[in-house]
Amino acid sequence: MSVRVTVNGDAPYDVVIGRHLLGELPGMLGTGVRRVLVMHPASLSATGEAVREDLVAQGYEAFVVELPDAEEQKTAQVAAFCWQVLGQADFTRSDAIVSVGGGATTDLAGFVAATWLRGLRVVHMPTTLLAMVDAAVGGKTGINTAEGKNLVGAFHPPAGVLCDLAALESLDRWDLVAGMAEVVKTGFIADERILELVEAHADDLRGWKGPDATDETWAVLAELVERSVRVKARVVGEDLTEQGLREILNYGHTLGHAIELTERYQWRHGAAVAVGMVFAAELARLGGKLDDAVVDRHREILTSLGLPTSYRGDRWDKLLGAMRRDKKTRGDLLRFVVLDDVARPTRLEGPDPTLLAAAYAEVSKEPPTGNAEVKVQLGL
């Protein structure tokens, strides 16, 4: 059975969550599409080819582009290669792109779709947990430059998103756990039931067994994806371009981005966001907003999933500098999303430097979680 979540906005679209969803693709592509370019990383060539063949069987002229893996594909060079393919195959504005892959692929394919002829339809078929609950929904697209991640991009909502849970069978434990950080984030900012589900099933999620996972674990994962997508759909449906409400999705991301940068992107995004959420919780606690119990809950849930909750004490100056330079900072003012309680997010602007340092001291009290240690924790 599949679930359909509608994302409102100027051009509403559906996110379908379930299994065997290829039959939904033509409906999402809409009328008038003749040519479709399927974009996937090399690791998903069998799935990408199956999608292409299905499209051909349905009467489309379908092409594939095999992309480099992970962040390697989010470059201007790869985008230019895709534009070349679209040009040589005479793609018009009424044709379409289908992405099959993780968040790196949905970001790149979305960007190529946004820019070719000023906007082609794109349908995302996310294959990682992170891409299902975050990257594929909401219309943010982008590529990296030598100066930093996601510096070039566009808002380009998809025509639809197909989350085929079966794709998660082949996902390794580390990728599932990294995606769980965004799921937990969604729980803290908007849906306590997510936290309860994770608390009850953390062992099974941390020890993700893919095809050997129990029916119960699959059911839990399906509910977590659905609940997370519902929250993201509601938030981006109200605020596509990050003028207000959408900012709550950045919970844990201000310090998280700074850690990623300091670690030269060797840490997974989810691991950095996990530490960032504990920092934000400590900021709120020390500022007198949040109860100790909710802060403890952050550490307990994240640790039960095998995610890190602390970082090196000797890195504060570097992290502070990186936060000040973050593209999401407005002017000189540091901004954080913090909680008054579970599901009650609010904004903290320009906090006192001593409060920031005190919150960081709480995050760096435990033995520092170095990169190698994080990998060990996550079973690599």
Ligand X SMILES: NC(=O)c1ccc[n+]([C@@H]2O[C@H](COP(=O)([O-])OP(=O)(O)OC[C@H]3O[C@@H](n4cnc5c(N)ncnc54)[C@H](O)[C@@H]3O)[C@@H](O)[C@H]2O)c1
Contact footprint for ligand X (CB under 6 A): 41, 43-44, 69-71, 74, 101-105, 107, 127-128, 130-131, 134-135, 138, 140, 150, 167, 170-171, 175
Instruction: State the amino acid at position 112 in one-letter form.
Output: V
Binding-site residue ranges for Zn(2+)? 182, 253, 269
In the chain, the largest separation of any two C-alpha atoms, in whole Å, equals 64
- The side-by-side arrangement of strands in the sheet containing 96-101 is 3-7, 13-18, 160-164, 121-126, 96-101, 35-41, 61-67
What residues are annotated to the active site?
118, 140, 182, 232, 242, 246, 250, 253, 257, 269
Question: In this structure, are strands 121-126 and 140-145 parallel, antiparallel, or unpaired?
Answer: unpaired
Q: How far is the CB of 354 from ligand X (least distance, A)?
A: 32
Q: Which is nearer to ligand X, 33 or 305 (CB)?
A: 305
The answer to whether the beta carbons of residues 305 and 184 sit under 8 Å apart is yes
Residue 360 backbone phi and psi in degrees, to 5: -65, -35
CB of 270: closest distance to ligand X in angstroms?
A: 8
Q: Which two three-digit tokens encode residue 298?
A: 């952050």
In the bound state with ligand X, the residue whose beta carbon lies nearer, of 230 and 285, is: 230
Name the DSSP letter for residue 266.
-
Residue 333 backbone phi and psi in degrees, to 5: -80, 125
Inter-helix orientation angle 316-325/353-363, to 10° = 120
Shortest approach of ligand X to residue 143 CB, angstroms? Answer: 9
Q: Which residues contact 276 (CB under 8 A, 6 or more apart)?
A: 252, 253, 254, 255, 256, 257, 259
Of residues 128 and 364, the one with the C-beta less far from ligand X: 128
Kindly state the smallest distance separating residue 352's Cβ from ligand X, in Å.
30
Which amino acid makes up residue 175?
D
Least distance between ligand X and beta carbon 351 (Å)? 25
9: amino acid identity, one letter: G
Output 16 or 284, the one with its CB closest to ligand X.
16
Closer to ligand X at the Cβ: 86 or 167?
Answer: 167
CB-CB contact of 15 with 234 (8 Å):
no
What residues form the annotated binding site for NAD(+)? 69-74, 103-107, 127-128, 140, 149
The distance of closest approach from Cβ of residue 299 to ligand X in the complex, given in angstroms and rounded to an integer, is 23
| Residues contacting residue 314 through CB under 8 Å, at least 6 positions apart | none
CA atoms within 13 A on the CB side of 270: 29
* Cα end-to-end distance, the chain, whole Å: 34
Residues 6+ apart with CB under 8 A from 271: 178, 181, 307, 308, 374, 378
Residues annotated within the binding site are: 69-74, 103-107, 127-128, 140, 149, 182, 253, 269
